[in-house]
Structure 1
């Protein structure tokens, strides 16, 4: 308990940021999906093709992810925004257990509050079909293919994040790469699984909607996929060593993971 109290006292800003980040992502997802999918929206009629609408939503969400990762707050916490990401860095021993637990709790709470906020503002346009709380459920091909798809996209995302973020030359592009992958996944993979990669993101929609179809997929596949990517990255034959538990390590923000303190101005 003393360890938890100490972590809360010293690192509470990072925990709040993680909740804010996923909450903001869910607000963006809810608003843009409503704008493009609600039958009464002008954008729904402007983009009559479902694939085109999905591409537009993907672009919006990719830009949202990039903005959150590169924001000063995102640079401070590391912009995990995802329990699967946090658990991966925990496996790599780059984040303390107390911090990991608090990050995950904040992500679940923040994501859910984001959905509830959109629900209060948009009401039926957001809660009713076809938007339906932006829930993630398996596509028509079934749960098995949805699990495989979630596993694959999660593993690939984490592999790219580890490769790019630990590169001295390309590390600053980690957020751009992650955002681009989110956009592409929504455009191409969403019909298979709803494109989650994130247990907290799926919970945030499933709980108020009371729709738990295939929820086990979104609790397990992203975690397994990212853990496998981490195991691949640090395997002896590969010779890689993971750095800090941040997607983007800023020299102007403190780091609770590696202990970095920015120099005084």
Structure 2
């Protein structure tokens, strides 16, 4: 598969890379944490038949420069809005995966005039209750922070060792983006969902261990105009696990025919 050429622009003082391919109405694709503009590669051939695709590396990922401070989803939405404005400023369809789904919701609430429809894929929009293991690791890390405060000369070493031992894989790999990851993970977008007026398609994997289907169901119930599709057998990356069914659901929805149809035996909204 040919790789789309790279383009660069300056937004908020950061050098941001993006790719563009296809022709037609604009569809903005926002990747998840740790991803890049290449994350959606398996579904691009289907999507570009109907849309001009705008696919950025969000700041701190791929070839885009990282923010100097801890950003939240709203800060990333500002970058997305600038990209839409640079492409003409007309309302566009937006597809966001996981963390990119949070950014898409922030975009739809802060810049509603720029958003036509939303496709939110495996998006952690509603805070989940932490598992017993996660709570235990959190308590251990809190104890390490308390010890670090008592031993200023060893503070950096203690916190690094605690992060290595008790942090999630994303946290361990985040490097300078760790403060941003902590901020984004702790966001709860449930209170903002009723304000989203754009039609929304929610796509979740039946077997997603990172963002369970219950999160998608809660988001569907909180959004005023949302449909839910469940991709049977898929995990956190339904566009990789079953790119054909994923593409079919997205294209049906964006064509205005609705996407909330059962795909396989997984549950879907009625």
TM bracket (short chain): under 0.3
Q: Which has the higher helix share?
A: 1
Larger strand percent: 2
Task: Point out which structure has higher relative CO (alpha carbons under 8 A, 6+ apart).
Answer: 1
Give me the TM-score of the superposition, normalised by structure 1: 0.26
TM-score (norm 2): 0.26
